[in-house]
Amino acid sequence: MSCYREEPKKAHFIIVPLPVQGHLIPMTDMGYLLAERGICVSLVITRANADRIRPIIERAKESNISFEFVELSFPNEMFGLPPGCESLDHITDTGLFRAFFDAIYSLDEPLETFIDSLERPPDCMITDMFNAWTAPVARKFGIPRVIFHGPSCFYISTEYNLAHHKVYDRVINENEYVTVPDFPIELQVTKAQTPGFLNSPIFEDHFRKKCLQEELRADGVVINTFLELERPFIENYERLIGKKVWTVGPFCLYNTDDEMKVVRGNKDAIDQKNRVLTWLDRRDAASVLYISFGSTVYTNTQQLMEIGRGLEASNKAFIWVMKKIEITPVVEKWLDEGFEERTKERGLIIVGWAPQVVILSHPAVGGFMTHCGWNSLLEAISTGVPMITWPRIADQFVNENFVVDVLRIGISLGVTVPNYGTEDVIMVKSEEIRKAVDVLMDGIEADEKRQRSKDISEKAKKAVEEGGSSDVDLADFIHYFTEQRNKLASGDGIGA
Ligand code: UDP
């Protein structure tokens, strides 16, 4: 039995993530965090996504915190989606994106039914920015609604400043560089790299408009970042949006339980844990390069083998995560007929889901080749690991800029044009990969970047410690929404 039913005086927050790992992982972390601070938390999830993180759900049940998972069934059949296709990374046919979001947007009724079943409505709804469908539900029950933004404030600010100054009205060539106006630093981007917030082929325009409208109506914003990392950009966004932005991350640093770290996002990583740790324990400090491109973008067959040639030429130790779908018959043959044998002394391949935070936290890991997803960057920042950056889509180009030019802890592979990974083109040659790996892993530049990364990771750790900026903001966030309940009860109401 959950404590909001047993202890009606306790505050109850409901969390509604977007079903894709880059959003589900930080919002689950946030749920834990709030529950550990005495809030009763209900996280709304669909069954197939719940199955992926079953150990986390079971652990929450056994613990003395109040963190429950509300499992909704996903209307796959009704929207023509294959069974089990409940997360963005399950979609390999881009033609299904529309149906996927239609299915998500139909979850308003089951959510209403859940809230109706409670004795009183929750005190706060924390909902992904993509989930505009939750806004009418929150309004119906008078629940204050906070937006969770997946990306960095650096990226959000970039998009807002470009939109605010209507920069793209003057742009003819989408690969032409323009300066972001009124921005805290000099930043140049192309329209192709930053086509507008949520302006992506996977997201239909009417969804996009709803999300932007509902962001403006929200009661605040919560972001997985920390003040010392991006203060000017947080302030810029807060000024533009005109509402409170709570920065309470990095979430991965609050998660100190090794078993829970392993199963973040997908329990399949349990199978890899011992193999990976035994392998890493035998390596020298900072000698291993970790290569992973997150949960949603792909690497095509030719490019994948080109990466392999670059790694071979670099002669450095590596852990390389490949997605199951990337193991085409050609790749399988290439791995079996030589690559694995030639690199077996210094290379470890993981096919499927890797325990990423566990790997990045290991002292043997000295570099990370990444697609620049914000969670991956924050995890590398938190563990003090410098990066080789290879953005593909969405916020990743701007994130690269932040890591390479602002924080100066990354080396760019020089990719400037978005590519989701499905097109069979080689974006980066093996020689470029070899050079970047050599520079990141050895020499004076490597030492400087590593030291800078360690310094930033110290700031991240301080932010989440008692009295640190994120800890204080989290306490403020909780206070704000638990106070709201009292105000509502006394008839004062809250801001529109
Ligand atoms: N991740 C993981 N194991 C993997 C791949 C990804 O644990 O094999 C996690 C990673 O640690 C991060 C999230 O999945 O927390 C990916 O989010 P990110 O924002 O980096 O990229 P996205 O997948 O959204 O493109």
Instruction: Give residue 86 CA to ligand 1 midpoint distance, Å.
Output: 17
Enumerate the H helices of 368-429 as residue ranges.
374-383, 396-401
Instruction: Give residue 481 CA to ligand 1 midpoint distance, Å.
Output: 30
**What is the DSSP code (8-state) at residue 79?**
G
Indicate the pLDDT class of residue 494, thresholds 50, 70 and 90: very low
Give the range among 121-135, 154-168, 278-292 with minimum mean pLDDT: 154-168
**Rounded (to 5) percent helix, strand, coil in the chain:** 50, 15, 35
pLDDT digits (tens, 9 = 90+) for 69-79: 999 999 988 98
Instruction: Give residue 464 CA to ligand 1 midpoint distance, Å.
Output: 21
Token pair 């894709």: residue: 20
Phi, psi of 14 (to 5 degrees): -115, 135
Q: What is the pLDDT of residue 496?
A: 33
| Integer Cα distance of 43 and 17 in angstroms | 8
Q: What is the pLDDT of residue 484?
A: 63
In 3D space, the residue among 313, 459, 307, 322 whose CA is nearest the CA of residue 382 turns out to be 459
Instruction: Give residue 264 CA to ligand 1 midpoint distance, Å.
Output: 9
- What is the SS3 assignment for 20? coil
> Of ligand 1's atoms, which has the minimum distance to the CA of residue 376?
20
Residues whose beta carbon lies within 6 Å of some atom of ligand 1? 21-22, 25, 264-265, 292, 294-296, 321, 353-354, 356-357, 373-376, 379
pTM as predicted: 0.94
| Integer Cα distance of 50 and 179 in angstroms | 43
> Of ligand 1's atoms, which has the minimum distance to the CA of residue 394?
25
> Of ligand 1's atoms, which has the minimum distance to the CA of residue 370?
20
Instruction: Give residue 304 CA to ligand 1 midpoint distance, Å.
Output: 18
Q: What is the pLDDT of residue 487?
A: 64
> Of ligand 1's atoms, which has the minimum distance to the CA of residue 23?
24
Distances (CA, A) of 300 to 4, 181, 336, 472: 48, 36, 18, 44
| Sheet hosting strand 245-247, strand order edge to edge | 67-72, 40-46, 12-16, 124-128, 145-149, 221-223, 245-247
pLDDT digits (tens, 9 = 90+) for 193-205: 988 777 776 677 7
Here the tokens at position 258 are: 């090794």
| Count of CB atoms situated within 10 Å of the CB of 457 | 19
Q: What is the pLDDT of residue 244?
A: 95
pLDDT > 90? residue 185: yes
Instruction: Give residue 493 CA to ligand 1 midpoint distance, Å.
Output: 39
Here the tokens at position 123 are: 């005190």
Instruction: Give residue 375 CA to ligand 1 midpoint distance, Å.
Output: 6
For the chain, give the percent of residues with pLDDT over 70: 95
Instruction: Give residue 265 CA to ligand 1 midpoint distance, Å.
Output: 8
Q: What is the pLDDT of residue 88?
A: 84
- Tell me whether 0.90 is exceeded by the ipTM: yes
26 against 205, higher pLDDT? 26
> Of ligand 1's atoms, which has the minimum distance to the CA of residue 252?
15
> Which residue CA neighbors atom 3 of ligand 1 most closely?
354
> Which residue CA neighbors atom 10 of ligand 1 most closely?
376
Q: What is the pLDDT of residue 491?
A: 57
- What is the SS3 assignment for 52? helix
> Of ligand 1's atoms, which has the minimum distance to the CA of residue 360?
11
Instruction: Give residue 21 CA to ligand 1 midpoint distance, Å.
Output: 6
* Average pLDDT over the chain, rounded to an integer: 91
Mean pLDDT in residue range 9-37: 93
Asked if 465 and 256 count as a contact pair (C-beta separation under 8 A), the reply is: no
> Which residue CA neighbors atom 21 of ligand 1 most closely?
373
Mean pLDDT in residue range 24-35: 94
Q: What is the pLDDT of residue 272?
A: 86
- What is the SS3 assignment for 314? helix
Q: What is the pLDDT of residue 189?
A: 95
485 against 379, higher pLDDT? 379
Q: What is the pLDDT of residue 448?
A: 95
Q: How many CA atoms lie within 13 A of 296 on its CB side?
A: 25
pLDDT digits (tens, 9 = 90+) for 282-305: 999 999 999 999 998 889 999 999
> Which residue CA neighbors atom 11 of ligand 1 most closely?
356
Q: What is the pLDDT of residue 495?
A: 40
Q: What is the pLDDT of residue 493?
A: 45
Instruction: Give residue 342 CA to ligand 1 midpoint distance, Å.
Output: 28
> Which residue CA neighbors atom 24 of ligand 1 most closely?
22
Q: What is the pLDDT of residue 175?
A: 92
Indicate the pLDDT class of residue 172, thresholds 50, 70 and 90: confident
Residue type, 456: I
> Of ligand 1's atoms, which has the minimum distance to the CA of residue 374?
19
pLDDT digits (tens, 9 = 90+) for 290-343: 999 999 888 999 999 999 999 999 999 999 999 999 999 999 999 998 999 999
| Integer Cα distance of 261 and 269 in angstroms | 10
